Structure 1
């Protein structure tokens, strides 16, 4: 009976724990591992001493995520080509707490913002996630991290400064995003160079993530002309039977390409003032496993 109750309480808070872990790590598998470890800690804990299960579980999850982030950051230094976060179905991102603004909560899960957060130290990232995405007071964050409140405020200030320096600009209107995504797909699939150039900002860039396990650029491609020519070239070599669908990933509109019944490529666009500024392409098969059923 106690085990059933422990499971019920944990499952109630699982979405927010996954949301914290994913924002910390940018990988679905890593986030799920952290949440599973949090469950093991919870099931073995003396729960009679826990007055606030949610606070306890967020604290455990955050600390585990910090440890995991320190491990994976060293591995990313040897990653083949650019590194992008793993695409996440929006419904798997967890629910925004009442204390957080929905727009900010969504912004912190976008590919662009997660890329910016890669520049933060594990502690800075934890403070930023808990403060900006979940609206935690500094005092509660200090308890989570076992740090003084003054130290937490300093971490928050540094994190905000780093994020503001690299904060991406993009339109969040889903209808506008979808329209431009559909036009982008039509132009790329039709090998329409002029059509792509009309959609791309002059300083557009393309960031591809394959991890060396699929074909994708090993360096960022910059300028509208180079991005458009690359896309046209890829379209000309596209395998017959590739199917595209539009869905919501990381709080925004995305393209998912299936080949042979399996997810092959995710494409997501950053749009500013009606022009595409960044094309994100994820082809590392390890990062597409969670989209198999999409």
Structure 2
């Protein structure tokens, strides 16, 4: 009887040891699984962050260049006053540049040099002196086609001038064009209008009806080379495109409906209507 109890005790002890070992292994497997899931989640998050950073970097690069109120030329601002932002470099979401405000009458210049990180299309840069004893914080807010500069002063100096708030758009580049070439374009428009029975000068309406109907290949064939160029580029001009060829900017500038506001970096051809897109597809065949 005593031997039986000893054997029974040994069996119970063995079962307990087996169960405890199994529980430890199960716990170890759960722990390893949890660690694996945490690592996987962390890796995916880091990977997404890296992708977002690359995407943001590419988008931020579009802001390199010079921005001014109403796109005015730097020379005009230097002579008549105003503000402009120059972005020299954008590297890994870090921006370098300068922001300048020129007083209209005295032409005194206030300036802040910028070396700051872009966070979610915003920059906050402290400045100790803008050249006139003023200090504070400059905030730059970036939008697709506009940059907003806001100044929060902590101290105003006695210089009677300071850096200024402003809404800025890409500065229009200075491009040369031939006056005779502009005359050729204007003459081509007049010739087309006369052919269509329109003898008056009309700067309020479009030249071609590319947003109302699709022109036949026969109609396009009858146009001169310059008229085809106007046909094609008027579609872009309708949507505010700023042309690299200055003669086109000068040509469409006479029309009340032309509002140049989108440079090549910001222009989206998805804005074209179905008629406009089909007319473009037809005109490029010539």
Bin for the TM-score computed over the shorter chain: under 0.3
Higher relative contact order, chain-length normalized (CA < 8 Å, sep 6+): 1
In our comparison, the structure showing a higher alpha carbon Rg is 2
TM-score by length of 2: 0.21
Q: What TM-score do you get using the length of structure 1 for normalisation?
A: 0.20
- Higher strand proportion (structure 1 or 2): 2
